[in-house]
């Protein structure tokens, strides 16, 4: 069995499991009052090269919805790409946490918001008119749900347009590490230096045991989150075990090395399928997701041969690699698909 259904089918990276075990000594104040959570804050400040606040949470949905609620009014409009996870795959969590804001999906090539689409939407939004939901935020998914990556210049252009109109910018970084590896830029360059006000920093898909974090680059956003997280049930009392994982995640670039492994496996699969008749890449592979087009019979055979993946609309399948997917497994995946297509 080769399980490429999602990167969240993976387990805990050994370094993070070790960090949990190490943190399991003595007592520690609950709800983030412990020393490890303070240390995590310090580590993130170094990593992102600026002051910030951090709120460890247990799911990407929680991170996204809480972060967006902190920057949107209940009558707000939040712009995202039409393929965004927050719009399609989070059971209206953002609408819930904001108290009824609207997600307004935009188009754009490569599953990234096109700047002219955002500009045009804002021009027509009726800012200040009480009958219209009021533009409050732009949310960028990084990497996107189709494995593409915004470059810092793209983030910056969108952010500038947003900020000019008074909107704040959120980045859903469920796969931020993969995007950093793909683009070769620093966390700072990819986020606040490019205008991001609040970040969902994913770790779960990349080796953590249900540990993600909201990183607020603005004290006003952080002040809101203290209460929003608590009333959302999103302040696990034994916070030290989330913080310990996240510290280990950042230690010596572990997060990037884990992401690199996942990205490399996807690249191996993509390269291995080049020129294979009956299977084509539906999109370029930038991070750890591979989208393939082919005959349904091909894909059914691949399943019978032991490859696990999810189907997407219009004859497409999605393979997602993780830090656990080794080279051997990537090559085995290629073999299965070649045999299935033969």
Which of 15, 17, 119, 301 contacts a copy of itself by CB under 8 A? 17
Output 156 or 329, the one with its CB closest to a copy of itself.
329
Output 7 or 189, the one with its CB closest to a copy of itself.
7
Which of 36, 175, 228, 261 contacts a copy of itself by CB under 8 A? 228
Which of 52, 54, 63, 201 contacts a copy of itself by CB under 8 A? 63
Which of 41, 163, 165, 226 contacts a copy of itself by CB under 8 A? 226
Dist. CA 55–CA 201, nearest whole Å = 10
220 binds a copy of itself, rule: CB under 8 A: no
159 binds a copy of itself, rule: CB under 8 A: no
Q: Which stretch binds a copy of itself (CB under 8 A): 7-15, 248-256, 273-281, 332-340?
A: 7-15
165 binds a copy of itself, rule: CB under 8 A: no
Q: Which stretch binds a copy of itself (CB under 8 A): 38-46, 108-116, 233-241, 298-306?
A: 233-241
Cβ neighbors of 342 (< 8 A, separation 6 or more) are: none
Nearest to 247 by CA among 56, 62, 67: 56
Nearest to 216 by CA among 238, 233, 201: 201
Contact 324, 316 (CB under 8 A): no
Q: Which stretch binds a copy of itself (CB under 8 A): 12-20, 140-148, 262-270, 291-299?
A: 12-20
Span 237-276, contacts to a copy of itself by CB under 8 A = 237-238, 241-242
Which of 62, 137, 149, 198 contacts a copy of itself by CB under 8 A? 62
Taking 3-state DSSP, the helix, strand and coil percentages for the chain, each rounded to the nearest 5, stand at 50, 20, 35
230 binds a copy of itself, rule: CB under 8 A: yes
What is 239-269 written as a DSSP string?
Answer: THHHHHHHHHHHGGGHHHHHHHHHHHHHHHH
Q: Which stretch binds a copy of itself (CB under 8 A): 27-35, 37-45, 160-168, 261-269?
A: 27-35
Span 269-328, contacts to a copy of itself by CB under 8 A = 313, 324
How many residues sit in the footprint of a copy of itself (CB under 8 A)? 76
Output 90 or 154, the one with its CB closest to a copy of itself.
90
Contact 111, 144 (CB under 8 A): yes
Dist. CA 214–CA 63, nearest whole Å = 6
Span 73-102, contacts to a copy of itself by CB under 8 A = 73-77, 88-93, 95-102
23 binds a copy of itself, rule: CB under 8 A: yes
Listed as own residue / partner, the contacts of 254-259 with beta carbons closer than 8 Å and 24 or more positions apart are 254/13, 254/15, 254/207, 255/177, 255/203, 255/206, 255/207, 256/177, 256/180, 256/181, 258/13, 258/177, 258/206, 258/207, 258/323, 259/175, 259/177, 259/178, 259/180, 259/181, 259/206, 259/287, 259/288, 259/323
CA 267 distance to own-chain centroid: 19
Bridge partners of 312, per DSSP, are 316
Span 109-138, contacts to a copy of itself by CB under 8 A = 124, 130-134
Output 101 or 190, the one with its CB closest to a copy of itself.
101
Dist. CA 63–CA 55, nearest whole Å = 9
Span 167-206, contacts to a copy of itself by CB under 8 A = 204-205
Output 134 or 183, the one with its CB closest to a copy of itself.
134
Output 67 or 270, the one with its CB closest to a copy of itself.
67
């Amino acid at each position: 069995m080769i399980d490429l259904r999602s990167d969240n089918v993976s387990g805990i990276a050994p370094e993070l499991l070790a960090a949990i075990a190490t943190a399991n000594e003595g007592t520690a104040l609950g709800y983030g009052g412990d020393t490890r959570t303070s240390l995590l804050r310090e580590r993130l400040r170094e990593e992102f090269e600026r002051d910030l606040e951090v709120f460890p949470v247990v799911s990407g949905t929680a991170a996204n919805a809480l972060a967006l609620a902190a920057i949107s009014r209940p009558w707000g409009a939040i712009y995202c790409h039409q393929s965004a996870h927050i719009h399609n795959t989070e059971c209206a969590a953002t609408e819930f946490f904001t108290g009824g804001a609207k997600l307004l999906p935009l188009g754009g090539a490569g599953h990234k918001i096109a700047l002219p689409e955002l500009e045009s939407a804002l021009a027509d939004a009726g800012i200040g008119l009480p009958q219209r939901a009021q533009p409050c935020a732009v949310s960028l998914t990084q990497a996107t749900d189709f494995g593409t990556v915004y470059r810092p210049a793209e983030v910056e252009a969108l952010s500038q347009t947003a900020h000019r109109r008074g909107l704040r910018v959120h980045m859903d970084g469920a796969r931020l590490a993969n995007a950093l590896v793909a683009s070769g830029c620093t966390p700072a360059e990819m986020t606040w230096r490019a205008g991001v006000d609040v970040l969902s920093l994913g770790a779960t898909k990349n080796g953590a045991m249900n540990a993600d974090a909201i990183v607020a680059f603005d004290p006003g956003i952080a002040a809101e989150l203290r209460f929003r997280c608590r009333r959302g049930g999103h302040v696990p009392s034994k916070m030290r075990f989330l913080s310990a994982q996240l510290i280990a995640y950042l230690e010596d670039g572990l997060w990037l090395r884990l992401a690199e492994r996942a990205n490399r496996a996807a690249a191996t699969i993509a390269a291995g399928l080049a020129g294979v008749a009956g299977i084509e890449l539906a999109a370029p592979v930038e991070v750890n997701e591979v989208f393939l087009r082919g005959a349904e019979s091909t894909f059914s055979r691949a399943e019978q041969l032991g490859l696990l993946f999810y189907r997407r609309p219009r004859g497409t399948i999605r393979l997602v690699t993780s830090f656990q997917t080794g080279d051997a497994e990537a090559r085995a995946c290629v073999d299965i698909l070649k045999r299935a297509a033969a």
